[in-house]
Chain A
Amino acid sequence: MAATIPIKNITEPYVVEDNERHTFLVNRRAFVDPNVLAQEQAAIFDKCWLYIGHESEIPNNEDFLTRAVGGRELIFVRGKDGTARAFFNTCPHRGAMVCREKKGKGKMFRCFYHAWTFDLEGKLIQRPEAERYSEAAQEGMHNLVQVAKLEQYRGLYFVNFDDAAIDLVTYLAGAVEYIDLTIDHSEVAMEIVGGMQEYGFQANWKLLAENSFDAYHGLSTHATYFDYVVAAGGQFGETLTATAEPTDLGNGHAVIEYGAPWGRPIAKPVAAWGDEGAAECAEIHKRLEERFGKERADRIANNNFNMVIFPNFVINNIMAITLRTFFPEAPDHQHVKAWTLAPADESASMRERRLYNFLEFLGPGGFATPDDCEALKLCQKGYTNLTNAGWNDISKGMGQDPIISNDEEQMRIFWREWDRRIAGMSS
């Protein structure tokens, strides 16, 4: 083997793409080095659009929730005027978090430390002994600090901490098409169902970005899940092999789209759902055809997709829809937030099938997600050998025609953007 690629003891660069030899390597230091994490915070999480939540989580005026996003503690609130806003959850006085509830409804936030009180637009409306402050300290300087940018696309809200950031829709680029394919499931509105799953595990956050749209690992990592699908009456003849080309959506976002053996509550029945489920799916499919024509209806009903919106927002539209975001608490630990999204106008029986589907694959008690997390933990532990075994290979499919979704092009798209942003920082 030619020795043009150093395989040990190297510190730079992080990503080595060789389009003549068709190899793509990632330096394992990118997963373990605290300096890399600091660079990621500055070059990625402080600059990119980050998902904060869905409109249905604060449906009414005066609804609020608190959530950590991008290393910050935020309040996401719908004001008396119906406008959604995001504030840093810290008192301008001495810094205490002004809201300690995960979610709720109210007319104001009061920091209990010295009883400074803010309205839902963030304005300081009351503090004890206010007359003891100078004139300069009276007006405006003690309001809650608003996040630089909060924008939404079709009910999905994102924040950006960079005043100079491009607008959300421009940033989302080609991902908009796949968000549309998801939100169009409903004629009324989509909603988050049943709250948020929060869990953590000892693996670098980028491992979950890769894993979230890695089709290659499916059959080996999730063998027990596919055993279960067969036992539950799934038509396994429909192969999971993802043969379509992965799509580069721009700005580091990518997606794979494919057919699969499991049932989809948006109109792809399986035997286990019986005649009643099949009839209901047919009805849903008919409405989709009326709304979008046959081709798009078939695509919405039958096609799964896994999409990573750079850097850390996943929409996996599979046997149910999961939204997922994850953030590093250390190079080797991440915190995951996950939700499921469903049509608000869905029948109770289809909702039941949807949630059943979700839990059998997804989440901390599912038949699949815990095995993913185990694999990612093993990767992280394996990186302790990086001095002697220093590179990840993400070359699958390079030089092939066509490149398919079971290859690794979607991960290369992620890594090219990651590398561009990190390299841009050190230059």
Chain B
Amino acid sequence: MSLSVTRADIEDLLYLEASLLDTWQLDEWLTLFEEGATYWVPPAGATDDVTPDTTLFYVADDWFRLTERVKRLGKKTAHVEFPKSKCRHLVTNVRLLGGDDDEFSATANFVTYRTKAGDTETYLGHHNYRFTMIEEKIRIRKKTSFLDIDNINSQGKVSIII
């Protein structure tokens, strides 16, 4: 099987994803994923080969917990995100790493700003994505957001989708 997407196609998807996250349209954001997809945030400073069965992650969501995370963030009782923080997701250095339409991967650098109650927190690192094509649309199979920092002493939490 060949690969029918270009880097520009992936950039379009990532920019759309960033926009949905910035505007807190998390139900729509979830539709960018394949059913059964996973979302991981390893601990700050982790290398690309870490897995949540041997390393204590911040987030290691399977599909069930990812959908529950989205439900939770939609509630007023998700206190850390009420009132909703202001977010800006910047995505850059996008590279298509290869594969075919059944599964292909890409990486991108990011800076995500979260502002609440006068404090702005900065998350920076890189995303590793695995994608698949479903009915000619790119769908995320796995998203892993690596924080390329030492710890989250100044951020304190990973309460938003990075």
Contact = CB atoms under 8 A, between A and B. Distances in A.
A364 B72 contact: no
A254 to B, nearest CB: 26
B28 interface: no
Interface in A209-256: 221, 223-224, 227-228, 231-232
Nearest to A203: B156
Nearest to A352: B53
A370 B157 contact: yes
B41 interface: yes
A351 B53 contact: yes
Given A198-B152, A365-B57, A228 B68 contact: yes
A199 B72 contact: no
- Using C-beta atoms within 8 Å of the partner chain, give the interface range for chain B: 20 to 34
Given A224-B77, A355-B56, A373-B80, A199 B68 contact: no
A201 B56 CA distance: 20
A197 B79 CA distance: 22
Contacts of A224: 72, 75, 77-78
Contact of A200 (B54, B56, B60, B156): B156
A273 interface: no
Contact of B156 (A194, A199, A228, A367): A199
Interface string B55-93: 111111000110011011001011110000000000000
Contacts of B60: 355-356, 359
Nearest to A337: B151
Interface string B111-134: 000000101000000000000000
A223 B77 contact: yes
A371 B80 contact: yes
A360 B61 CA distance: 9
Contacts of A356: 60
B157 A364 contact: yes
Interface of B: 41, 43-44, 52-60, 64-65, 68-69, 71-72, 75, 77-80, 117, 119, 151-159
22 contacts: A193-B54, A193-B56, A197-B58, A198-B44, A198-B151, A199-B152, A199-B153, A201-B157, A202-B156, A221-B79, A223-B75, A224-B75, A355-B60, A359-B56, A359-B58, A363-B56, A364-B158, A365-B41, A365-B157, A367-B68, A370-B80, A381-B117
Given A364-B156, A365-B58, 17 more contacts: A198-B153, A200-B153, A200-B154, A202-B119, A224-B78, A227-B71, A227-B75, A231-B68, A339-B56, A340-B56, A348-B53, A355-B60, A359-B52, A359-B56, A365-B158, A370-B159, A371-B78
